[in-house]
Amino acid sequence: MVPFVYKEHEQILQKTIIDVKKKLNIDFIETFFGFNKVYKFKDFSLSYLSCTSYSQHLDGICDINFNSNELYVICPIILRYGIYVEKDEEKEYEEIIKLFLKNLKFFNQKKDKHIFFLPGDNKDVYECMQDSIVFTVSPSLKINALPLYYTSPTICSETTDITTCPVDVSFQGSLNTHPIRPKSVNALYKMKNYSTFIDCNFEFLEFLENREYLRSTYKKSIEKCKFVLCPRGRGSNSIRFYEALNFGKIPILISDDTKLPLESKINYSEFCIRIPEKYFSKIENYIDEFLKTHDIKMASEKARETSMKWFSMNSISYFVNESIKEYNAKNVEQKQLFV
């Protein structure tokens, strides 16, 4: 059955903003994220799904078959809220979300069939959404959400032979988003047998005037390396993980509880190094072992193939469809355990 998509984008948003002002005495500020309009209050924001980089392809979700006899309802508005917020702010944000949900006319009847997208490093899904299907980027195993891959303006159109790359391991990014980052980078500095490129003065691109230049330098740093260090940040994963795959590089993911997309379908061990946080100092040993057990050129090709099949802009409808199939299959298995 083809899922239903809410079409009243503007009406839902405006009604929510009016309700929030009237009942919570909160004013949203109309601002922009890049070129996209966003309604913002503190670290909470509302915007259209069409204001994200998934926009032109998510519309295609309404044309796919979820292999279900029941109707799924897709919400075209995204909610974004910070991972580090005070308790009083969390309460405010949940009250905003509740008012937003009241403006979705089918929500109360079909909570478990509503599909939401939260494209931020959210630490949890609020209780009022727990019965729904929620996609969020960088979820941990503790979060009741399905993984949604990152999309990035840093996209590779054509990969190079990984064996010709002059640098072994690269990291370009901020160190202040999680304690494991400076520890992991320090481990890179101490490696004896592998060359590195490290730039720790790299800020979030969208808020800088010279972001196009920075994207260009960032792209070059990935292109010239074999492995990309991907320590977790505010969320349990890193955008570098998906960028590395897109460039056909081997991501070195350092995180304890990352929930990766479609793990029943994708064998990440073929092209990815996963390191528990407590073993951050052993990066060199993990690289040694990977090179002993893998053909790096084949691993590179598999990484790129996986990115193009599952994590490209054109894949979003297929990705959502398959993720929900996996989600439903797991639910059936869990129910059978208790029969």
Quick check: 92 and 24 in contact, CB under 8 A? yes
Residue 284, Cβ neighbours under 10 Å: how many?
Answer: 17
Nearest one of 327, 317, 217, 216 to 265, comparing CA atoms: 327
Angle, CA 117 vertex, CA 114 and CA 119 arms, to 5°: 165
What was the pLDDT predicted at 284? 97
> Going by C-beta distance under 8 Å and a sequence separation of 6 or more, which residues neighbour residue 254?
180, 184, 229, 230, 231, 232, 275, 276, 277, 280, 283
Tell me: the pLDDT tens digits for 111-161?
Answer: 888 888 877 676 678 889 999 999 888 888 888 899 988 876 666 667 889
Quote the tokens at residue 58. 């998510």
Q: Phi/psi of residue 205, each to 5°?
A: -65, -40
Distance CA 307, CA 248 (A): 8
Quick check: 118 and 146 in contact, CB under 8 A? no
Nearest one of 176, 184, 137 to 323, comparing CA atoms: 137
Residue 206, CA distances (Å) to 16, 51, 154 in order: 27, 14, 12
Tell me: the pLDDT tens digits for 76-104?
Answer: 677 777 666 677 788 888 899 999 999 88
HSE, CB side, 13 Å, CA atoms: give it for residue 329.
Answer: 12
> Going by C-beta distance under 8 Å and a sequence separation of 6 or more, which residues neighbour residue 115?
3, 72, 73, 74, 75, 132, 133, 134, 135, 320, 324
Distance CA 280, CA 123 (A): 23
Nearest one of 252, 263, 249, 240 to 299, comparing CA atoms: 249
Distance CA 239, CA 119 (A): 12
What was the pLDDT predicted at 122? 67
Distance CA 27, CA 18 (A): 9
Say what the pTM is. Answer: 0.86
Collect the ranges in the chain with pLDDT lower than 50: 1, 51-53, 55-57, 59-67, 205, 207, 338-339
Query: What is the tally of helices (H) and strands (E) in the chain?
Result: 9, 14
What was the pLDDT predicted at 211? 66
247 DSSP 8-state letter: T
Distance CA 174, CA 176 (A): 6
What was the pLDDT predicted at 51? 40
Distance CA 118, CA 121 (A): 8
Quick check: 120 and 36 in contact, CB under 8 A? no
| CATH numbers and ranges of domains, the chain | 4-149 (no CATH), 162-310 (3.40.50.2000)
Q: What per-residue string of b and e applies to 189-227 under the rule 16 or more CB within 10 Å gives b?
A: eeeeebebbeeeebeebeeeeebeebbeebbebbbebbb
Report residue 183 CA to chain centroid gap: 23
What was the pLDDT predicted at 55? 47
What was the pLDDT predicted at 64? 43
End-to-end alpha carbon distance in the chain: 28
